[in-house]
Every structure is written in structure tokens, then in C-alpha cells.
């Protein structure tokens, strides 16, 4: 199949222009709708609007039989569900055929968080000489301070830019005087996240030398040695190198620092709603997984400290 059916293309256009979905989300939606169109074509059904719940169940079973993981199947069904919900709003279908179709249960893996001492050691390391070292220090401090996703980090501007003339308005930026980060996250939801003192100081040091690198990208907060907006993979690589240099002995990626921030704030405050706001979760059930991390930490402390919990040698 060379292209998507017209209703699917119209849905993606609506997601791009009206719902302002990120490029990564649009790519995922296109991939999932292409899969749906191919399955429908194989079943000799050219019109996606004519599919029934039985068709969708059969498609899901076929994909699961091919080895698609429960997590991937759940994401794909979510995209299909959104597409048919959109068709229903336009009165092009009367029933959403994906409603009631669920992916197989999957084992819920707990997010990996660093112990407090390791996280503090990672972010408090003294930067080496050079502008790139100051940039890396600021990135790590910001990830741990504000719990940003990787995509949110690299999309940040160093200040808010307006929409005057042809210049597009910023969607995410830092406000150093107010000590906050304005982030546009998943689903186009915007939130304000506090900026810790250590992160603010690291950002000020970086911004003092940023101009020596930013030759081609005047807006991006974090830029490469060539002056372009820093790519997500570059952030991952720099963080991996830092963890190896410090000898942490664990694989550290940006989301580990997000998980660590959430877990450590919850351990200290016990305020699940506050953690939900900081992370930008639409549903608190997503945030509740950190209570399990908190329980694991408590259980380890108990086993190590309680006289009746210790095993005899």
C-alpha cells in the first residue's frame, strides 16, 4: 500500500494542525494506521470506516500471534481508538470498533531510579574545562531538578520567544528570574515546573558561554559544538559517558533521572498529587507506580534495620 486512506490522512492532518502533536507522536500514529490499513486490505476491506469490533479483535490477535508485545499492541490499539473517536466526532462512524478491545495483560515493570547518593553524586560532579562540560552539567542538573522527559529537554528555548512576524512562539522555555521551566509535554499539555537552585546556577554558568557555540540556532537552550539544537541521542551519549567516568556501575539514561526525581520527592514528601503535577501525568494512576518504588525502599530499610528482620548468619 503506497499511502494511507483519505480518512486516516485527514485525521493525521488534524493531529498536526489543531492538536499540535509532536513529530514523534505523528510518526507513531502514521505507522499504526498504516498497519491497520494493511490488515484491512488483506481482509479485502478497503474502507476503514466499515470495520467492526470483530475485525479489530481478529487484527489484534493476528499481530499478537506474529510476536507483537502486549505493550506495543496496547499502544497500537490506543492509536486506532483515537482515530475512530475522531471519525465518530465527525459522524463518519456510529460505533468505535476498538472500544472494548484490549491487549493481553503485560507485566508492569517498575521504573529504574538511582539511589539518592548516586543521583547526587552524578549531578554534583564538577564540570571539566570548556563550554560543552558546562552544558552537560546544566543538562544533568535540569533533568534531575525538574524531571523532564528527553524530548522536553531538547525542545527548550533559553527564553520565551514571541510570535512577532514570522517568528514562531516558543512552546517550552526556562524562566531563570522566576526559577521555573515552562514545558509543553505529551498531548500538547503545558506545565510549569520549579527549577532548583543548583540547576539555576548551572544554567547561568552555561548561558554565560553558550554564545561561543550557538552560531546557527539562536533559540535552543542546549546546542551542539556546531551550534545546532542538541539531538536526543547526543544527550543520551553524554549521560552514559558521565556515568561511566564516575564509575556508577549502572546504565544511566535521561529517563532514569526523571524516575529518580519522582521517587526521591515522593519519599521525602509523600505527596503523590505534587509528583503527578511535576511529571505532567494526565492520570494519577500513571504516577502511582512510584509508590511501589517507595515501598521497595521502605522494605529494604526495614530488612536492614529491624532486629527481627535480619537473617541469622
Q: How confident is the model over 206-252, as pLDDT tens digits?
A: 999 998 886 768 899 999 998 899 999 999 999 999 999 888 888 89
pLDDT tens across 43-83, in order?
888 899 999 999 999 999 999 888 888 888 999 999 999 99
Q: What is the pLDDT of residue 230?
A: 93
198: pLDDT strictly greater than 60: yes
**Active-site hit among 29, 84, 144, 290:** 290
Reduce the DSSP state of residue 47 to 3 states and report it: coil
**Active-site hit among 135, 137, 258, 259:** 258
Helices 131-146, 254-269: crossing angle, 10 deg rounding:
40
Q: What is the mean pLDDT of residues 154-183?
A: 84
- Cα–Cα distance between 64 and 79 in angstroms, integer? 16
- Cα–Cα distance between 118 and 82 in angstroms, integer? 41
**Active-site hit among 121, 219, 255, 297:** 255
- Cα–Cα distance between 287 and 262 in angstroms, integer? 9
Question: Is 281 annotated as catalytic?
Answer: yes
pTM of the shown model: 0.64
306: pLDDT strictly greater than 50: no
Question: Is 210 annotated as catalytic?
Answer: no
Q: What is the pLDDT of residue 300?
A: 54
The confidence band for 108, taking pLDDT boundaries of 50, 70 and 90, is low
Question: Is 290 annotated as catalytic?
Answer: yes
The confidence band for 302, taking pLDDT boundaries of 50, 70 and 90, is very low
Say if residues 225 and 213 touch (Cβ distance below 8 Å).
Answer: yes
pLDDT tens across 7-29, in order?
999 999 999 988 888 888 899 99
**Active-site hit among 137, 149, 210, 229:** 149
Q: What is the pLDDT of residue 221?
A: 95
The confidence band for 297, taking pLDDT boundaries of 50, 70 and 90, is low
Q: What is the pLDDT of residue 1?
A: 43
Question: Is 29 annotated as catalytic?
Answer: no
Question: Is 149 annotated as catalytic?
Answer: yes
**Active-site hit among 30, 57, 186, 253:** 186
Q: Which residue has the higher pLDDT, 296 or 127?
A: 127
Nearest CA to 160 among 218, 229, 227, 219?
Answer: 219
Q: What is the pLDDT of residue 199?
A: 93
Amino acid at each position: 500500500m503506497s499511502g494511507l486512506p483519505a480518512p486516516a490522512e485527514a485525521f493525521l492532518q488534524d493531529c498536526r494542525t489543531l492538536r499540535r502533536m509532536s513529530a514523534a507522536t505523528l510518526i507513531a500514529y502514521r505507522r499504526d494506521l498504516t498497519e491497520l490499513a494493511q490488515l484491512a486490505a488483506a481482509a479485502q476491506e478497503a474502507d476503514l470506516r466499515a470495520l467492526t469490533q470483530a475485525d479489530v479483535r481478529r487484527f489484534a490477535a493476528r499481530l499478537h500471534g506474529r510476536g507483537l508485545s502486549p505493550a506495543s499492541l496496547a499502544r497500537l490499539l490506543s492509536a486506532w481508538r483515537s482515530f475512530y473517536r475522531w471519525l465518530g466526532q465527525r459522524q463518519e462512524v456510529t460505533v468505535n470498533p476498538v472500544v472494548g478491545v484490549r491487549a493481553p495483560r503485560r507485566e508492569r515493570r517498575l521504573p529504574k531510579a538511582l539511589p539518592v547518593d548516586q543521583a547526587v553524586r552524578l549531578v554534583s560532579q564538577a564540570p571539566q574545562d570548556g563550554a560543552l562540560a558546562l552544558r552537560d552539567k546544566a543538562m544533568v542538573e535540569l533533568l534531575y531538578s525538574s524531571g523532564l522527559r528527553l524530548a522536553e529537554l531538547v525542545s527548550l528555548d533559553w527564553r520565551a520567544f514571541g510570535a512577532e512576524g514570522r517568528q514562531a512562539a516558543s512552546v517550552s522555555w526556562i524562566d531563570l528570574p522566576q526559577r521555573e521551566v515552562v514545558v509543553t509535554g505529551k498531548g500538547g499539555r503545558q506545565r510549569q515546573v520549579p527549577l532548583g537552585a543548583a540547576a539555576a546556577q548551572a544554567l547561568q554558568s552555561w548561558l554565560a558561554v553558550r554564545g561561543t557555540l550557538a552560531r546557527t540556532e539562536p533559540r535552543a537552550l542546549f546546542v551542539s559544538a556546531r551550534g545546532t539544537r542538541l539531538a536526543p541521542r547526543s544527550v543520551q551519549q553524554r549521560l552514559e559517558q558521565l556515568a561511566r567516568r564516575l564509575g556508577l556501575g549502572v546504565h544511566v539514561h535521561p529517563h532514569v533521572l526523571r524516575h529518580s526525581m519522582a521517587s526521591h520527592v515522593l519519599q521525602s514528601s509523600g505527596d503523590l498529587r505534587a509528583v503527578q503535577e511535576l511529571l505532567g501525568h494526565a492520570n494519577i494512576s500513571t504516577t502511582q507506580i512510584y509508590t511501589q518504588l517507595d515501598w521497595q525502599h521502605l522494605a529494604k530499610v526495614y530488612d536492614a534495620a529491624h532486629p527481627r528482620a535480619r537473617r541469622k548468619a
